[in-house]
Amino acid sequence: MLYYLFMYLDKLDVPGAGVFRYISFRSGLALITSLIISMWIGKSIIAYLRKKQIGETVRQLGLQGEQQKQGTPTMGGIIIILSIVIPVLLFADIANIYVILMLITTLWLGTIGFIDDYIKVFKKNKKGLAGKFKILGQVGLGILVGVAFYFSDDVVIKIKQDNFKETTYVSEELNTFNDNYEKPGYVTVKSTKTTLPFIKNNEFDYKSLIGFLPKSMQQQWVWLVFIIVTIFIIAGVSNGANLNDGLDGLAAGTSSIIGATLGVFAYVSGNIIFSDYLNIMYIPHVGELVVFASTFIGATVGFLWYNSYPAQIFMGDTGSLTIGGIIAVFAIVVRKELLLPLLAGTFLLESLSVMLQVSYFKYTKRKYGEGRRIFLMSPLHHHYQKKGIHENKIVVRFWIVAIFFAVLAIITLKIR
């Protein structure tokens, strides 16, 4: 809302109002605001949850320190959601299609996670919301995002004309904030292309997945392929984030690192100069997501103030499903979804450890009559706990691994 107020004041030539044109300025304000909100409301929410005795019921897994977590307030994802939504409404252009999609994602999966936590805490049902309903909610979001993303006239990319040689640069202000500006030699197109990492000609068109069909039918049905891919990515990443949420500060810390990386991708993809230099897709309007990424970083870091060891509150599914969904949809929007196995590498490792453990246990039980395990316990972070490594050290090491993956993801912009 402040964005529109200051844009109006700028038209009236009010001194200083024009600073709100700069994404960098608004992103900084958004990050600080989300950080303050999360730290300010966190204390009140923790006190309220304690008063209502809304605490975590810890399963007996034989892990060091698990009894200390018994009764710790959960549903802390509410802090993250509020700390994202409020600054976005204040500082972002909420008419931007990408901002709208990210807000829908945040509230949609936040609601599903809240229902799951509510059933666990208030209905005393440890299983929470039935898995099929979670999947149904993720599928619904995937369809909504896929349809909106594919059919909206605002979701476009700009590509160079093959016969255009001249390079003309413009000021940062025109380049970043005047979306009606047309750089010579570029044409606006609807596209189902995305980015392939480590490949020189690094654009992959989802049409190729149905390349066996006639070209006319490829164009007609590619939207369905895109929606299926969107559903798969949202479900996979949100569930991966859920598995990653098992130690104090683990999910919040790794997610803030991933969010910062996605913010870099949004900035360079939405900047015609940088995208031209890096030879990546120029996506008009997507630079506005830098503001959203900043609120995401501020919210997760602010939540970490209370969630770091020893945690005063857990995010619950309200937070973990929301975080995973945000990362998934953000990556799709900036056309970097195929980088997610690298960028969200910690999520992938946690998910793979569970899949391998379950598959190997079932296989050995069927073959030898006795189930055997690859890890001492899954997800992976519990394996290291079983080995006697302190929880805090495991979390910090996972953060280091997340930083490694994030840096590697960023340098894919130049390594082809």
Spatial distance between the Cα atoms of 279 and 273, rounded to a whole number of angstroms: 10
**DSSP 8-state code for residue 230:** H
Domain membership of residue 184 (yes or no) is: yes
**H or E element, residue 159:** strand 157-160
- Whether residue 200 contacts residue 119, with contact meaning beta carbons closer than 8 Å, is answered with no
329-360 residue pLDDT tens: 999 999 999 999 999 999 999 999 999 999 99
pLDDT at 164: 46
Q: Is the N-terminal amide bond of 15 cis, ω within 30° of 0?
A: no
- The residue among 25 and 58 whose pLDDT is bigger is 25
The mean pLDDT of 252-281, rounded to a whole number, is: 92
pLDDT above 70 coverage of the chain, percent: 89
Q: Domain tally for the chain?
A: 1
Residue 167 — pLDDT band, cuts 50, 70, 90? very low
Domain membership of residue 288 (yes or no) is: yes
The mean pLDDT of 124-136, rounded to a whole number, is: 85
The mean pLDDT of 71-81, rounded to a whole number, is: 90
pLDDT at 179: 44
Spatial distance between the Cα atoms of 191 and 160, rounded to a whole number of angstroms: 14
The mean pLDDT of 26-30, rounded to a whole number, is: 95
pLDDT at 172: 41
**DSSP 8-state code for residue 187:** E
Say whether pLDDT at 59 is over 90.
no
Domain membership of residue 246 (yes or no) is: yes
Q: Is the N-terminal amide bond of 197 cis, ω within 30° of 0?
A: no
Amino acid at 206: Y
Q: How many CB atoms lie within 10 A of CB 134?
A: 22
- Whether residue 98 contacts residue 157, with contact meaning beta carbons closer than 8 Å, is answered with no
Q: pTM for this one?
A: 0.91
pLDDT above 90 coverage of the chain, percent: 53
pLDDT at 171: 40
Residue 17 — pLDDT band, cuts 50, 70, 90? confident
Say whether pLDDT at 180 is over 60.
no
319-330 residue pLDDT tens: 999 999 999 999
**Strand locations in 90-167 (E):** 157-160
The mean pLDDT of 295-322, rounded to a whole number, is: 94
Torsion angle of the four alpha carbons 26, 30, 36, 39, in this order, in degrees rounded to the nearest 10: -160
Per-residue tokens: 393: 């050290």
97-122 and 289-307 helices, crossing angle to 10°: 30
- Whether residue 229 contacts residue 219, with contact meaning beta carbons closer than 8 Å, is answered with no
The mean pLDDT of 236-240, rounded to a whole number, is: 92
Spatial distance between the Cα atoms of 176 and 273, rounded to a whole number of angstroms: 9
200-217 residue pLDDT tens: 777 888 888 888 888 878
Domain membership of residue 16 (yes or no) is: yes
The mean pLDDT of 254-270, rounded to a whole number, is: 96
Amino acid at 383: H
Spatial distance between the Cα atoms of 394 and 400, rounded to a whole number of angstroms: 10
> What's the domain range around 253?
2-341
Domain membership of residue 61 (yes or no) is: yes
**H or E element, residue 364:** helix 345-368
**H or E element, residue 292:** helix 289-307
- Whether residue 347 contacts residue 402, with contact meaning beta carbons closer than 8 Å, is answered with no
**DSSP 8-state code for residue 72:** -
